[in-house]
Amino acid sequence: MNPINSRYGAAAGTQALFDEGLRQHMLRVYNYMALGLVITGLVAFVVGSTPALYVPIFGSPLKWVVMLAPLAFVFFFSFKIQTMSASTAQITFWAFCAVMGLSLASVFLVFTKTSIAQTFFITAAMFGSISLYGYTTKRDLSKMGSFLMMGLFGIIIAGIVNIFLGSSALQFAISVIGIVVFVGLTAYDTQNIKEQYSENYDQESNQKLAVFGALSLYLNFVNIFQLLLNFTGERE
């Protein structure tokens, strides 16, 4: 056998294995994310449709615990992802999605179910197209990562301030800028998840990468949905 052909054949085979592994990895990420959204949606719908559940939560100071709990989960994930096992990471992710569902149950008290469904499908279409761009583009999106993170922290601070101010103008600005930031983060995170994958990682490491990647995309999706709902949602 020609040694040159043998070498090129081996390289092609290695690339094919890498591409198939990457495809399976991205599919796992999207599956985790989709299942997380299902859990969140079911919890939010059940709680938001059941007075015996939402009155004790949103009619008392407990609502602040429910609203802030998802943020605590995100910090916990960020600091512990390296030391926790893949199975623990998955369980923590599902628990986080359920807690987020409790937090989002309030949208069923404010907006009509029809407008919530419409906004969800708009968000899904927007998210899908932007994530596909992030996966397929040859452009390096890492340069805009720091800019987007600055925008994210700015939105968080402005949102906290507006809890006390209650300014509709500031809320409008937060929603517009927030959509732009989270759309950008969707493309950036998708490319980052793709580049972090390596067939040389062990199964445990790739599993944790998939869970953390799903968390990143899940957060982008949920935030885009919430911000779009401010524009497209019909109030009860």
Q: What is the pLDDT of residue 234?
A: 65
42-93 pLDDT, tens digit each: 999 998 888 887 787 777 777 777 777 777 777 777 777 778 888 888 888 9
pLDDT at position 32? 95
pLDDT at residue 20 in the model: 81
| Residue from 34, 206, 42 nearest 127 by CA | 34
Q: State residue 143's pLDDT score.
A: 80
pLDDT > 60? residue 11: no
Query: Which of 35-44, 195-204, 209-218 bottoms out in mean pLDDT, i.e. has the lowest?
Result: 195-204
> In terms of Cα–Cα distance, which of 38, 29, 178 is closest to 101?
38
Lowest mean pLDDT among 16-20, 82-86, 108-112, 133-137: 16-20
pLDDT band at 199 (very low <50, low <70, confident <90, very high): low
